[in-house]
């Protein structure tokens, strides 16, 4: 008994012209659906991870100073948290089913081996949901510091659940805790599976990335609102958000470097694709930008920095870095996509690091310049960059792992559900996510209107 059956009846009767949507293969539709579900969820989940800390900071400032601006800010931000958390929670529920709906071949085996981090994530998420209910509705029912700590617990549980669930993705990249035994896994060790080699760095990289993206996005939104009308609440908000964002943006290249070194060791073909590196060599050049040509096996229009790939990947200029040519063509991931995504992520990460450094320098030596219009416009310009970097980073790690769903063990194509017509469910999910994104965005805009109305009422 297993997922081997394919219903052989064609989805469309003979002779009926097939719409363009079904030109997409089942496999591509499934991959696209999964990518879209994850891409959507990660935005809302990142907000759920980082935003509570921003909120707790503002709340702390209110409790310590009694400044009503911070109370307004905490309450405005908590509404944002509530909206995003709800959407993130239901999209996460969707994902827990989708793993099986799209990839039963994978879940048949992976479910048991890597289920443990999911169960811990479930616990953390449960605590988060409880703490959020207490925080959002407990203003008048809980004592002030108990109430504040509920907000903090939302954040801590969020971080914990992110770290747990990423253990599962880490396992897909760095399988551990089982002997594959030709498709009948034995000697399953759930603890070894959970604490696989990729888990810790991937988890930290994601959590820091969440703070970076959310910090800059929230700062950008408030910067924009401040430029519209210089209310003190928006400047306070910007400063809190950008502090988190800047610190994260400065830490992230360090974490990223450690991550890349880990990938170089464990998944050399992914590293080669990320870097657009075709020829195995010592003193390998770092390839910045450029367009990989998979047929000619060369990356054109790039800047080559001699020796730096070897140095970054292994810490020595004379280290050998494997190129794509060393691997069978059918095991190559999509090189161009992986390379572009990687360049985008690093490029944006660099920009955010520089803006973050600038902010911290200004805070120390020229605090008045933070409300200067030119700086504010710079911050506004950075609003989406952190999230684009997150999406790019996930493309790197997921597309870069192809054709494997469990690296070196199971191919993605072998995990696919036999159910035909995935193109249609892909269309359905796309429509759903589009609607939800539009409505949440719309809601947030209206929340700012509500906030301004409230503030006006008190002026």
Query: Rule CB under 8 A: which of 72-91 touch another protein?
Result: 79, 82-83, 85-87, 89-91
184 interacts with another protein by CB under 8 A: no
Name residues contacting another protein, limited to 141-160 (CB under 8 A).
141-142
* Whole-angstrom distance, CA of residue 195 vs CA of residue 447: 42
94 interacts with another protein by CB under 8 A: yes
27 interacts with another protein by CB under 8 A: no
- The CB-of-436 to another protein minimum distance in angstroms stands at 6
- The CB-of-402 to another protein minimum distance in angstroms stands at 22
- The CB-of-363 to another protein minimum distance in angstroms stands at 33
Window contacting another protein (CB under 8 A); options: 121-129, 235-243, 289-297, 339-347: 121-129
User: What burial letters (b/e) apply to 62-100, b meaning 16+ CB within 10 Å?
Assistant: beeeeeebbbbbbbbbbebbebbbebbbebbebbeebbe
Which residues, listed in sequence order, are joined to residue 292 by a DSSP beta bridge?
299
Decide: 302 and 290 in contact? Cβ < 8 Å: yes
End-to-end Cα spacing for the chain: 70
Beta pairing, strands 404-406 & 281-282: unpaired
Name residues contacting another protein, limited to 191-250 (CB under 8 A).
191
Q: Using the minimum distance from each CB to another protein, give the nearer residue, 7 or 357.
A: 7
What would the DSSP string read from start to end of 258-308?
A: HHHHHHHHH-HHHHHHHHT--S-EESPPEEEEEEEETTTTEEEEEEEETTH
How far are the Cα atoms of 44, 94, 100, 458 from residue 36, in angstroms, in the given order?
13, 12, 16, 43
Q: Using the minimum distance from each CB to another protein, give the nearer residue, 73 or 335.
A: 73
- The CB-of-258 to another protein minimum distance in angstroms stands at 28
436 interacts with another protein by CB under 8 A: yes
How far are the Cα atoms of 134, 247, 276, 422 from residue 307, in angstroms, in the given order?
55, 30, 15, 46
Window contacting another protein (CB under 8 A); options: 123-131, 291-299, 328-336, 387-395: 123-131
123 interacts with another protein by CB under 8 A: yes
44 interacts with another protein by CB under 8 A: no
Window contacting another protein (CB under 8 A); options: 17-25, 223-231, 342-350, 424-432: 424-432
Measured from the Cβ of residue 18, the count of other Cβ atoms closer than 10 Å reads 11
Rg (CA), the chain: 24
* Whole-angstrom distance, CA of residue 188 vs CA of residue 74: 46
* Whole-angstrom distance, CA of residue 41 vs CA of residue 187: 33
- In three-state secondary structure terms, 139 is coil
Measured from the Cβ of residue 104, the count of other Cβ atoms closer than 10 Å reads 17
- The CB-of-406 to another protein minimum distance in angstroms stands at 14
Decide: 216 and 312 in contact? Cβ < 8 Å: no
- The CB-of-37 to another protein minimum distance in angstroms stands at 11
- The CB-of-418 to another protein minimum distance in angstroms stands at 7
129 interacts with another protein by CB under 8 A: yes
Q: Using the minimum distance from each CB to another protein, give the nearer residue, 112 or 351.
A: 112
> Which among 249, 254, 246 has a CA at the least distance from the CA of 362?
246
Per-residue contact string for residues 389-418; x = within reach of another protein by CB under 8 A:
----------------------------xx
373 is written with which tokens?
A: 């219009």
> 132, 235, 255, 370: which one contacts another protein (CB under 8 A)?
132
Window contacting another protein (CB under 8 A); options: 201-209, 260-268, 313-321, 421-429: 421-429
126 interacts with another protein by CB under 8 A: yes
> 19, 21, 25, 96: which one contacts another protein (CB under 8 A)?
96
Q: Using the minimum distance from each CB to another protein, give the nearer residue, 132 or 198.
A: 132
> 18, 19, 25, 119: which one contacts another protein (CB under 8 A)?
119
> 190, 232, 253, 403: which one contacts another protein (CB under 8 A)?
190
127 interacts with another protein by CB under 8 A: yes
- Alpha-carbon torsion, ordered 50, 51, 57, 59, to 10 deg: -150
* Whole-angstrom distance, CA of residue 333 vs CA of residue 381: 33
Number of residues interacting with another protein: please give it, by CB under 8 A: 75
Window contacting another protein (CB under 8 A); options: 117-125, 275-283, 300-308, 386-394: 117-125
120 interacts with another protein by CB under 8 A: yes
Q: Using the minimum distance from each CB to another protein, give the nearer residue, 35 or 127.
A: 127
Ramachandran quadrant class, 276 (left: phi over 0; alpha: psi -120 to 50; beta: rest): left
36 interacts with another protein by CB under 8 A: no
């Amino acid at each position: 008994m297993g997922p081997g059956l394919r219903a052989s009846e064609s989805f469309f009767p003979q002779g009926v012209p097939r719409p363009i949507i079904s030109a997409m293969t089942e496999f591509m539709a499934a991959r696209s659906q999964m990518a879209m579900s994850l891409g959507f969820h990660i935005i809302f989940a990142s907000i759920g991870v980082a935003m509570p800390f921003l909120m707790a900071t503002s709340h702390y400032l209110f409790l310590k100073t009694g400044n009503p601006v911070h109370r307004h800010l905490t309450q405005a931000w908590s509404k944002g948290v509530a909206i995003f958390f709800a959407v993130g929670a239901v999209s996460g529920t969707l994902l827990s089913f989708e793993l099986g709906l799209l990839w039963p071949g994978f879940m048949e085996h992976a479910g048991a081996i890597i289920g443990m981090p999911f169960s811990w994530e479930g616990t953390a998420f449960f605590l988060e949901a409880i703490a959020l209910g207490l925080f959002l509705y407990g203003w008048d029912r809980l004592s002030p510091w108990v109430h504040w700590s509920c907000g903090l617990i939302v954040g801590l549980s969020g971080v914990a659940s992110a770290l747990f669930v990423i253990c599962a993705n880490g396992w897909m990249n760095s399988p551990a805790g089982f002997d594959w035994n030709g498709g009948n896994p034995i000697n399953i060790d759930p603890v070894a599976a959970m604490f696989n080699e990729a888990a810790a760095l991937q988890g930290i990289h994601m959590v820091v990335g969440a703070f970076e993206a959310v910090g800059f996005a929230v700062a950008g939104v408030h910067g924009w609102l401040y430029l519209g009308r210089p209310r003190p609440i928006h400047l306070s908000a910007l400063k809190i958000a950008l502090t988190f964002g800047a610190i994260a943006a400065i830490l992230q290249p360090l974490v990223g470097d450690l991550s890349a070194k880990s990938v170089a060791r464990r998944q050399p073909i992914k590293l080669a694709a990320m870097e657009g590196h075709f020829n195995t060599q010592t003193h390998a050049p770092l390839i910045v930008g450029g367009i990989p040509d998979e047929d000619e096996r060369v990356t054109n229009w790039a800047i080559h920095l001699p020796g730096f790939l070897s140095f970054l990947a292994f810490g020595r200029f004379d280290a050998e870095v494997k190129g794509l040519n060393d691997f069978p063509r059918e095991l190559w991931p999509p090189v161009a996509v992986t390379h572009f995504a990687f360049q985008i992520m690093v490029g944006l990460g660099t920009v955010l690091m520089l803006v973050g450094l600038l902010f911290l320098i200004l805070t120390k030596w020229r605090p008045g310049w933070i409300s200067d219009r030119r700086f504010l416009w710079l911050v506004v310009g950075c609003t989406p960059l952190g999230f684009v970097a997150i999406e790019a980073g996930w493309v790197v790690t997921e597309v870069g792992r192809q054709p494997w769903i469990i690296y070196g063990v199971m191919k993605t194509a072998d995990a696919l559900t036999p159910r035909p017509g995935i193109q249609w469910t892909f269309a359905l999910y796309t429509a759903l996510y589009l609607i939800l994104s539009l409505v949440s965005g719309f809601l947030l805009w209206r929340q700012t209107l509500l906030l301004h109305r409230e503030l006006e009422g008190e002026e």
